[in-house]
Structure 1
Amino acid sequence: MGTLPDTRLGRTTSFDMSAKQSSKIRVFLRTRPTSNFAQDMIEFIPDSNNINIHAKKNEKRGVVNNQLLDWTFKMDGILHNASQEQVFETVGADVVNRALDGYNATIMCYGQTGAGKTFTMTGATENYQQRGLIPRVISAVYQQIEKRVEQSVSIRISYLEIYNENMFDLLSTLPEAFVGTQAMTIIEDEYGVSIKGLACT
């Protein structure tokens, strides 16, 4: 799917480790139509949460060939030209509640360059409505904490980017923060997997 020309498809995957849906991975497709959107190649079926991909036949292969031209993918939801608010309500809101209930939760965006992963996760600064999942989730966490007066909650934040197989600590933005610091490495111990050297505030 990542090799289709100018389709601007991005997948938002929500990992939900709840008691009811143990290790259930939910996959949502978010699309951002452009002027060159491949309408003849992509077919959405929102009622069944299916997406059909129809490739054009490669005439250079001759008249007789076994080229696969059609694919169907089943999603948990299709967010076609959806607002940031719709994305949060569909993907992020339930993850916040379950995380505060004590379950591990992860939201991950995957897609080709230009698909809108950064916009989905962080949003834009033009106006308040363009906030992405990260600021919305943080806001929702604090709102939920205020309602759960019987709980004692501690919050720690790290911000890591992996680009071209290199890790970047996005909370250590000042040049002096890198002086004398060791490279970040992935470690695994009795508490799970973590990043050694990653800033945590």
Structure 2
Amino acid sequence: METNEACRAANIESPLSNHMQEAEGAEATVAPERSNIEICLRVRPVPDPMEGIHVDKDERTVRFIVPRSINQGLTNNQREAYQFTFNKLFPANSTQEEVFDGVARDVVLESLEGINGTVFAYGQTGSGKTFTITGGSERYEDRGIIPRAISLIFSTIAKRTNTTYMVQVSYLEIFNEAGYDLLDEEREVRSLEELPRVHVMEDENGTLHTRNLSLHRAATEEDALNLVRMAARFAHGFVWLEIPEGTFSTCD
């Protein structure tokens, strides 16, 4: 079984701190403290489920059993069980819609009210981050968080006839601690390293600003999706949808 973590952040006031507490029987539990950051776990389906891993959707926990090894008659006194608790847990049979509704829907809607929000996927190679964030290409229901977020933004603002919105899209790739603008239109490039480098700067108030990151206006849902497809010629990235008084971003 492989796992893929998706994290949500909105109006962050304090950093999340996880702490380990030892329980009886050499067990350990990791539980997130109350925070504006939610830690969600999505379990990737695998052909052969592994023994010793127990997923409890109702309790939002994953429990790992690691039998103690005996070497030359000596018992290893290492912990035998580890249990991790998350804000939300999506088992292997979860749909893309269920993941989006549970992780990103509220963040998107809050961004339209002026509250910045971020959703990003974290996990090892092959754990399903790209599928969760971008989605599959064969079936409409396999759309990931980015296209679903774009659709929700435009469908919501279309109903608010008394308010005028402007949506702008940026697409930033972070590779080896360097940022690149994947939507640069000023030159023909063949590799990521040929793209403009994006620099992040902090002002005297502690606010972060980006330099060399282009903004592209998207008047329709299709405009925004085309920009995302254009940037997808390169690898994984950080999509930034900017709406006056609020932003929504995703990272893969």
Q: TM-score range, shorter-chain basis?
A: 0.7 to 0.9
Aligned-pair distance for 1:67?
A: 1.3
Counterpart in the other structure of 2:130: 118
- 1:184 equivalenced with 2:232 (yes/no): no
Structure 1 distance, partners of 2:68, 2:197, is 48
Counterpart in the other structure of 1:197: 212
SS state at 1:152 partner: coil
Q: CA 1:101–1:55 in 2, change beyond 3 Å: closer, same or farther? A: same
- 1:157 equivalenced with 2:151 (yes/no): no
Letter in 1 for 2:10: D
Q: Normalising by structure 1, what TM-score?
A: 0.83
Counterpart in the other structure of 2:38: 26
Structure 2 distance, partners of 1:152, 1:110, is 35
Aligned-pair distance for 1:18?
A: 8.2
Counterpart in the other structure of 1:4: none
Aligned-pair distance for 1:92?
A: 1.4
- 1:79 equivalenced with 2:94 (yes/no): no
Q: Does structure 1 conserve the Cα–Cα contact (< 8 Å) formed by 2:4 and 2:124?
A: yes
Counterpart in the other structure of 2:80: 69
Counterpart in the other structure of 2:222: none
Aligned-pair distance for 1:57?
A: 3.1
Counterpart in the other structure of 1:52: 63
Letter in 1 for 2:103: V
Q: Normalising by structure 2, what TM-score?
A: 0.67
Q: CA 1:191–1:158 in 2, change beyond 3 Å: closer, same or farther? A: farther
SS state at 2:90 partner: strand
Counterpart in the other structure of 1:171: 183
Letter in 1 for 2:213: L
Structure 2 distance, partners of 1:163, 1:56, is 38
Gaps of 5+ in 1: 1-6
Counterpart in the other structure of 1:108: 120
Q: Does structure 1 conserve the Cα–Cα contact (< 8 Å) formed by 2:133 and 2:144?
A: yes
Letter in 2 for 1:71: Y
Q: Does structure 1 conserve the Cα–Cα contact (< 8 Å) formed by 2:137 and 2:143?
A: yes
- The sequence identity of aligned pairs, in percent, is 32
Letter in 2 for 1:43: H
Q: Does structure 2 conserve the Cα–Cα contact (< 8 Å) formed by 1:49 and 1:78?
A: yes
The count of corresponding residues between Structure 1 and Structure 2 is: 192
- 1:11 equivalenced with 2:23 (yes/no): no
Letter in 2 for 1:24: N
Letter in 2 for 1:16: A
SS state at 1:67 partner: coil
Aligned-pair distance for 1:13?
A: 0.8
Q: Does structure 1 conserve the Cα–Cα contact (< 8 Å) formed by 2:7 and 2:121?
A: yes
SS state at 1:35 partner: coil
Question: 1 or 2, which has the higher strand percentage?
Answer: 2
SS state at 1:184 partner: strand
Q: CA 1:116–1:168 in 2, change beyond 3 Å: closer, same or farther? A: farther
Counterpart in the other structure of 2:146: 134
Give the CA RMSD over aligned residues.
2.8
Structure 2 distance, partners of 1:114, 1:180, is 27
Aligned-pair distance for 1:151?
A: 2.2
SS state at 2:40 partner: strand
